[in-house]
Amino acid sequence: MTTKTRKSRSSTHGLTEIRWHGRGGQGAVTAAKMVAEVALGQNRYFQAFPEYGPERSGAPIVAFTRISDEPIQVYSGVENPHIVVVLDPSLLSIVDVTKGAPDDAVVLVNSDMPPADLRAHYKMKGHKLFTVAATKIATETIGRPIPNTPMVGALVRITGMFPIEDVVEFLRADFGKKFPPKVVEGNIKALTRSYEEVQAE
Amino acid sequence: MTTIDAKNVLDETTVAVTGNEAVAEAMRQIDPDVVCAYPITPQTEVVQLYAQMVADGKVESEFVTVESEHSAMSAVIGSAAGGARTMTATSSQGFALMWEVLYVAASYRLPIVMTTVNRALSGPINIHCDHSDTMGGRDAGWIQLYGENHQEAYDNCLQAVRIAEHTDIYLPTMHMYDGYVISGAIGPLKMLPDDRVKSFIGPYRPVNPLLDTKHPVTVGPFDGLHGFYFEHKVAQNRAMDRALGVIQDVADEYAELSGRQYGLLDAYRLDDADVAIVVVGSTAGTTRDVVDKLRAKGVKAGMVRVRVFRPFPHEAYAAALQHVKVVGVLDRADSFGAQGGPVFLEIRGALYDCDPRPQVLPFIYGLGGRDIFPDNIEQAFAVLQKAARSKKRASIERRYLNLRED
């Protein structure tokens, strides 16, 4: 009794499923959680979890976010993500990041290349591809090459999931509890710059 | 029919936390006198967060760091026997290392509360979720409550204190939730205000504490060559029998406080069901979605989630399932060489006196964290439906869900 079906289960109960690919230390799990917490602020149901296991710095990792208008009680891994976010383009040559994603899925990659060039370079087929230079933006705004916050900014733009002002407000309140104002403002800049600079195909 | 929606409605008290954070917050609100614990994946976060709360002065607990889980349980026993409200937490190999002292805690009738974050037992070494650890400890004499999600992990932790300390019971109580699936995932939690938890928990009045030197007692002596060991064990089991009523009373009182009603078991769309699945832990949520999907197609499918496993409310299961034609039991642990997994054995036994007697079929899933998808649960229901249509009783060999067979 193995699972072989790969049919899309998109949009049942207004459910959005996001799969995050990154490397340990890039903040993919933090980003998955950040989106879940913003969803709570929007009075939407949420779930965020890493692919169960210990996180090792530099190793490929996967995390998931589910957002829904109704309570979420499914606890299996996300098989057919509507949105795939890739925090490290080097993963494209070693991980099948679009595995199980339906044809109309959105793929967002952290890359300096425009989407068409990235697609040609990695011979990517299908899906709606977007890119944003998240590591560069993070380095210039936060001062550290951690691409997670800028990737959230780009994600918010291409999906229209939340108003960007609400995400800014969340960062100010939530990061404000944990980090000095300079770091908070850097993250907000990273978020809003990516929101503006994300490129469509 | 189900209370899941009422439990899940978002409001201003909802926070986004991991399952472990939810339990650490419950422990903060309980603020026990003593916590003795040793960290182990996936329980670590509970102990780490609680140690931080102690260091930050958010709680008044004495936190005893120990060198192993055997020592953790031993220290907890000493503390509880001394008269302190005492808690601990563990998982997997840590639980296994506590083994011999688990029995001691129960036989001393110490109302210890332990969180066990379910994880597979070695070997091969595996850090992921299954229920082998606590299912293996089911005969140690502890009350066992299994939670489904973040909310219930928190709610059960609070209720466990009241159950364990009830003077009709006085048995150690463990509550569980799925490792990683719940422990490491972020989900919604509605927290009660600190003061309301405090009044629900109430002050602890230990019975016959060792440190009450004006009323000296002996705890844990040699039973003598022909002592009362047997009678002692019967007394433990009678306390277990009484616990069913107490667990429900505590749940009812908690419902008044929280608006969240729990029972001994959690039935879903069962009243007119022809086929039903019995399941423990987070997989119940996934199963409910499958039940809804099958119902939409006209299949009379239902589900029961196991909440209280020790004591096992066998009469409640017989009443809930007697009209069902075929029951599939999904076990996330196996009992090697037995007729089926631990929950299967209980359910099959509970339904023996029903007339007509439902068929009960064993399924094993999710060992070592193998994921369980809605498709797998649909496959299990398909087996039950086929058996329900057939004139012959189906084979009761184990069926494995999402097993790599080729």
Does B269 score more than 70 pLDDT? yes
A73 CB neighbours in chain B (<8 A) are 4, 8, 149, 284-286, 288-289
Supply the pLDDT for residue A55.
Answer: 66
Supply the pLDDT for residue A2.
Answer: 47
Task: Please say whether the beta carbons of B181 and B52 come within 8 A.
Answer: no
pLDDT digit string, tens, across residues B282-319:
999 999 999 999 999 999 999 999 999 999 999 999 99
**Distance between CA A33 and CA B65 in Å, rounded?**
31
- Over chain A (201 residues), what is each successive 10-residue block's mean pLDDT? 40 80 90 92 93 77 94 92 96 95 97 97 95 97 95 96 95 92 96 97 89
Residues on chain A bordering chain B, Cβ-to-Cβ distance under 8 angstroms: 1-3, 5, 9, 32-33, 36-37, 40, 43-50, 52-54, 71-77, 79
A46 CB neighbours in chain B (<8 A) are 16, 186-188
Q: Which domains does chain A have, with CATH numbers?
A: 12-200 (3.40.920.10)
Supply the pLDDT for residue B138.
Answer: 98
Supply the pLDDT for residue B9.
Answer: 78
What ipTM score was computed for the predicted complex, to two decimals? 0.90
Supply the pLDDT for residue A56.
Answer: 77
Does B1 score more than 50 pLDDT? no
Question: Which residues on adjacent β-strands are paired with residue B254?
Answer: none
Q: Which helix (DSSP H) or strand (DSSP E) does residue B376 occupy?
A: helix B374-389
Supply the pLDDT for residue A9.
Answer: 38
Span(s) in chain B for CATH 3.40.50.970:
4-258
Contacts across the A-B interface (CB distance below 8 Å): 98
Work out the minimum CA distance from A105 to partner chain B, whole angstroms: 20
Supply the pLDDT for residue A139.
Answer: 97
Span(s) in chain B for CATH 3.40.50.920:
265-400
* Angle CA A186–A191–A195, to nearest 5: 145
Mean pLDDT across the stretch B333-353? 98
Q: Which helix (DSSP H) or strand (DSSP E) does residue B400 occupy?
A: strand B399-400
pLDDT digit string, tens, across residues B83-126:
999 999 999 999 999 999 999 999 999 999 999 999 999 999 99
**Distance between CA A168 and CA A189 in Å, rounded?**
9
B178 CB neighbours in chain A (<8 A) are 75
B374 CB neighbours in chain A (<8 A) are 9, 74, 76
Contacts of B295 (CB under 8 A, 6+ apart): B269, B301
pLDDT digit string, tens, across residues A3-25:
443 333 334 458 999 999 999 98
Indicate which of B330, B375, B381, B401 best probes the interface with A, i.e. most A CBs within 10 Å of its own CB: B375
Fold category of B4-258 in CATH? Rossmann fold (3.40.50)
Task: Please say whether the beta carbons of B336 and B366 come within 8 A.
Answer: no
Which residue among A45, A49, A74 places its CB closest to the CB of B10? A45
Looking at residue B318, its amino acid is: A
Task: Please say whether the beta carbons of B134 and B176 come within 8 A.
Answer: yes
Mean pLDDT across the stretch B176-203? 97
Contacts of B312 (CB under 8 A, 6+ apart): B346, B350
Contact between A1 and B373 using a beta-carbon 8 Å cutoff: no
Supply the pLDDT for residue B10.
Answer: 86
Supply the pLDDT for residue B243.
Answer: 98
Mean pLDDT across the stretch B32-42? 97
- Chain B residue with the nearest C-alpha to that of A46: B187
Work out the minimum CA distance from A152 to partner chain B, whole angstroms: 17
End-to-end CA distance of chain A: 40
Contact between A47 and B129 using a beta-carbon 8 Å cutoff: no
Fold category of B265-400 in CATH? Rossmann fold (3.40.50)
DSSP letter (8 states) at residue B31: -
